[in-house]
Amino acid sequence: QVQLVESGGGLVQSGGSLKLSCAASGSIFSIAVMGWYRRALGKQRELVALITRDGGTHYVANLKGRFTISRDNAKNTVYLQMNSLKPEDTAVYYCNADPPAIGWGQGTQVTVSS
């Protein structure tokens, strides 16, 4: 069973950048769509971005242009480059398949200070 480990979060000032990584313990090549999700304190988990096996991408409307999702099937890793971060991006970020069929990892905390 594939397990997911997210990393790369941290504390950054508004306008800064972070690159998140999601390492899978097994092959993700067979997973057609992978995604990044986030959950802010007191809110439900929400979709951030999706990427297909072949590299097609989809972003939540208000994040397009600031966030870039990518995947390296050979390394079983999915990435999320986040630029121009805002305080409202503060959340725990998770990766999973779409729909989320893998057990959730621990996530990685992103905190954006104003």
Q: Which of 28, 29, 6 is nearest to 105 (CA)?
A: 6
Q: What is the pLDDT of residue 4?
A: 95
Q: What is the pLDDT of residue 2?
A: 87
Check pLDDT > 80 for residue 52: yes
Q: What is the pLDDT of residue 1?
A: 82
pLDDT band at 9 (very low <50, low <70, confident <90, very high): very high
61: left (phi over 0), alpha (psi -120 to 50) or beta: alpha
Q: Average of pLDDT values for 96-101?
A: 92
Rounded Cα distance between 24 and 105, Å, is 10
Q: What is the pLDDT of residue 62?
A: 85
Indicate the Cα dihedral angle 26, 55, 18, 77, nearest 10°: 10
Determine what percent of the chain is predicted with pLDDT higher than 90: 87
Q: Is 107 exposed, middle or buried (0-12, 13-18, 19+ CB in 10 A)?
A: buried
Q: Which residue has the higher pLDDT, 61 or 13?
A: 13
